[in-house]
Amino acid sequence: MAMNMRERVDSLENALKELAYAGRHTEMTVDRLAEELKEFKGEMAAFKGEMADFKDEMLAFKEESRRATRRMNQQWGSLANKMGTFVEDMVFPNFPHILARYFGIGEDEVDEIMVNRLKRHPTVRSRRKEFDLIAWTADIVFWNETKVSPKMRYLVELVEDTESIFEFFPELVGKRLVKIVSSLAMTTEEVDYLTKNRCYAMALGDETMDLVNFEQIGGAA
């Protein structure tokens, strides 16, 4: 009986020790979790600060992008305005030289040169078409179109259009049509396409505007 009581006391002491150990372990775990939570909150506060800085940077980036877009639009607008006078500034002054050098046509042989002419159709009054430059002699009409960037789609349309100039200018019917496309610069692909379809390409040369594929086509386009 005494031994059983002793065993029970020992068992109770062991249970209390285990309980105390478990309590201490739990306390240490809670302390560790509290410390980790504190660190986590600090990291979250730092992260929120970084996110706030990131948002500020994004807002600044968006604003700078808007300013850059406005500047780009202004530059394109300025270029577009400048290209609006490109025919008068670069193509037209060189056209008599082009006619004389490559086609043997003197100024006294040119009946008329029209620049940036918006023409109404002679019979369908609702139709209008703008022609960049047209010049003609007794038997030849030269039709020049100028583009900042002569996309292939545009070149195809121009090459295939052999009638509209005679529709809008019926007085030119019967003359041989010579087409010219002008730009500051053209790709090899664009020049090759024009050459294949016997359409002259005029681009900026070493000093001034020049026909860059005349040798491939010759003077009887």
* 119 bridge partner residues: 129
The one-letter code for the residue type at 39 is: E
Q: pLDDT by residue (tens digit) across 85-144?
A: 766 677 888 889 999 999 999 989 999 999 888 999 989 888 999 999 999 999 999 999
**For residues 31 and 161, what is the distance between their CA atoms, to the nearest angstrom?**
86
| pLDDT classification of 24: cutoffs 50, 70, 90 | low
Q: What value does the mean pLDDT of the chain take?
A: 80
Which of 165-169, 186-190, 215-219 is predicted with the least confidence, judged by mean pLDDT?
215-219
Q: How far from 155 is each of 127, 151, 162, 186, CA to CA, in Å?
A: 22, 6, 13, 11
74-81: which pairs have CB atoms within 8 A and are 24 or more residues apart? 79/148, 80/148
As a residue count, the chain comes to: 221
